[in-house]
Amino acid sequence: MKKKTLFINGVETSFTDERNLLEVIRKAKIEIPTFCYHSELSVYGACRMCVVDIDGRGINTSCTIKPEVGISLRTHTEEVRNIRKIALELLLANHDKQCTSCIRSASCKLQDLSNKLGIDKVRFKMTDEIKPIDDSSDAVVRDPNKCILCGDCVRACYEIQDIGAIDFSFRGSKVSVEPAFGKSLTDVECVDCGQCARVCPTGAITPKYQIKDVWKEIDNPEKTVIAQVAPAIRVAIGELFGMKPGTLLMGQIVAALKMIGFDKVFDTSFAADLTVIEEANEFIARKNKNENLPQFTSCCPGWVKFAEQYYPEYLNNLSTCKSPQQMLGAIAKEILPEQYNIKKENLVVVSIMPCTAKKVEANREEFMVDKIKEVDYVITTQELAAMIKQAGIKFEELTPESLDLPLGFKTGAGVIFGNSGGVAEAVLRYAYEKVNRVKLPSSDFLEIRGDEDVREVEVQLNGSNVKIAIVAGLKNARTLINKIKSGEKYFDLIEVMACPGGCIGGAGQPFIFEEHVKKERTRGLYETDKTLQLHKSQDNPYIQELYKNLLIEPNSHVAHKLLHTSYKNRKRILESELSFMGSMNSQKVEIKVCVGTNCYLKKSQKLMGQLFKHVEKNNLRDVVEVAATFCMEKCGEGPNVMVDDEHISQSTIEKILPSLNKKLMKKNLLTIV
């Protein structure tokens, strides 16, 4: 085969299957600055930072050009350097420069590139007005004054989650990124996953910090403050202290938390073991009765909210199990006040999670008993690192300490919950022995594992084929569910995680700039599983003791009271529509056109214009009302239109008019036009 080479700064460089010149250049050990480039997102070319000088072609963005044999380019000519510096200065001119108080100060790419490119002054004046900060969400905070319009958040919300809660608005110098119609994040279809914050290169979207509240509780002598640490934290926090991704640091985390002032430190993996037993027994019962299948996992609150908003018809298919976070909170509030001889209201449960959606989950009404929350506060990996630094603790020099019992003991099955496929594998480790009545020769189900965001496997349980799907990313979940609805696919058990790679890729984790980081974190969790003495949830002696002394048996009445929940249809009921032709009248035929992000991109605004023209041309203003509505929760079927109570997907004017005429005739408003 002919060798594929090109020339970078005069040096012949080989390339293979790289997507673009940018990847070839980086493979050659030359770092090209970018804001809008992420390997897991589409190529956008908006920030213009990755420009290079290509012989015969001039200045071009390296991320948008495929490598070609013989191309010769230069990466840092004077012209290229000046273009990058001017682009940065223009961004900085309208950027909120309160860098010392920004929580992204230590990981801000704008700040980092400004230092690397030698920006010592900004020659341009601010032209934008200061905009209000949107802190309506319990998950994330959106500060438009720090937005550089790179579009990373927009693409993540659409390409990873297929939601489109935020998008570009307006044009020219007025362009901005925001939820539709200037609404807050809580008023649109955001599921709190925080993937927008994970990819944001500045402090424009960040997790909502609760550090101040947690410090107040720790400083209150009347309160007993306990922490629970999620599996994914132990293999990621080291990155914030200069250590390699995947380094296991659970012992150091415990030591740091005790030094900060937490009274006890437990492991959410204990509750993951509990979840396995409850969820596996629930699945076995459903499989035996052939009811409410496929069973979807319910550990991920971003996925649960997505299902409640977009697929309420499948809510009976979700496992009724609470997430491990909420299970541990419920058990802690049930048994620890008596053990510690304190009032329940004086026990404070702080969760340390890789996820922003967990913050919202903890505030759900379902997880409050007598107005007392099961989990009082949720802080992320980033927030824990900030607290450690605020306390002046030299984390990298700490001597490991042990977790507290009983809620600190776990098996490897609970630990692997932190990565995509871990829940399904842990459930299989239990279900295999329960159904087949034999001991597993090996606890590993290697066929479950992999890097793909969608995986399908079949396993044998007592002679019966069990079809399992593992899905990461809500866009993939939507695609799979639609295939199930159409009959194209069938599964018995489906694990869904909102974040790529599972919890290890959560928005509260240290920021990922290289794809291999997630693989290293996953490797760390599986290695932790291997080093533990027990690998199956049913072998956890403290779980056995909990059933003996409190829960009686899996799925018992007591277990359901403490460990299970229910779900609600959260399809948003619009408080108002935007009517363009007068007030709504029940005697009229009402046409509602969705102008949410996905439908807008599919030309719903053009369709609305066609409807206006049809109404005017045929003198239908008195009998037809056309309105823009925000979302019909059927984003994959757009553009969506409602003609009275009839939903029309993939709408065109030709598909709408027959329905309109039929409705007009039924109401005796008009003959066919």
- Out of 366, 452, 545, 553, which one is annotated catalytic? 366
Q: Which string of b and e fits 387-399 if b means at least 16 CB within 10 Å?
A: bbeeeebebeebe
299 is a catalytic site residue = yes
CB atoms < 10 A from the CB of 159, how many?
Answer: 16
DSSP secondary structure string for all residues of 133-201: -B---SSEEE-GGG-----HHHHIIIIITS---SEEES-GGG-EEESGGG--GGGTT--S--HHHHH-S
Q: Which string of b and e fits 242-256 if b means at least 16 CB within 10 Å?
A: eeebbbbbbebbbbb
Pairing of strands 51-54, 58-61: antiparallel
The HSE-up count of residue 669 (CA atoms within 13 Å, CB side) is 22
| Closest C-alpha to 327, from 554, 30, 135 | 554
- For residue 138, give Cα distances in angstroms to 67, 205, 302: 44, 13, 13
635 is a catalytic site residue = no
18 is a catalytic site residue = no
The DSSP code for 418 is G
366 is a catalytic site residue = yes
| Closest C-alpha to 178, from 153, 198, 206, 208 | 153
- For residue 619, give Cα distances in angstroms to 12, 590, 612, 658, 663: 70, 15, 11, 17, 16
For residues 48 and 63, what is the distance between their CA atoms, to the nearest angstrom?
Answer: 9
- For residue 468, give Cα distances in angstroms to 295, 449, 458, 482: 10, 12, 6, 16
358 is a catalytic site residue = yes
193 is a catalytic site residue = no
Amino acid 195 reads Q
- Out of 47, 102, 157, 299, which one is annotated catalytic? 299
- Out of 40, 239, 279, 637, which one is annotated catalytic? 279
The tokens describing 259, both together, are 């030094």
For residues 415 and 616, what is the distance between their CA atoms, to the nearest angstrom?
Answer: 63
Please report the beta strands in 403-486, taking only residues with DSSP state E, as ranges in sequence order.
454-461, 464-472
| Closest C-alpha to 274, from 337, 323, 332 | 323
Q: Give the three-class secondary structure for 350.
A: strand
- Out of 319, 323, 351, 537, which one is annotated catalytic? 319
121 is a catalytic site residue = no
The tokens describing 65, both together, are 């050009």
The tokens describing 515, both together, are 């794809």
602 is a catalytic site residue = no
- For residue 383, give Cα distances in angstroms to 20, 207, 240, 323, 658: 36, 9, 11, 21, 57
User: Any alpha helices (H) in 223-356, and if so which ranges?
Assistant: 250-260, 268-289, 301-310, 324-340
The HSE-up count of residue 356 (CA atoms within 13 Å, CB side) is 26
- Asked if 240 contacts 385 with a C-beta cutoff of 8 angstroms, the reply is yes
- Out of 40, 239, 361, 625, which one is annotated catalytic? 361
- Asked if 296 contacts 496 with a C-beta cutoff of 8 angstroms, the reply is yes
Amino acid 475 reads K
The residues annotated as belonging to the active site are 279, 282, 299, 319, 358, 361, 366, 503
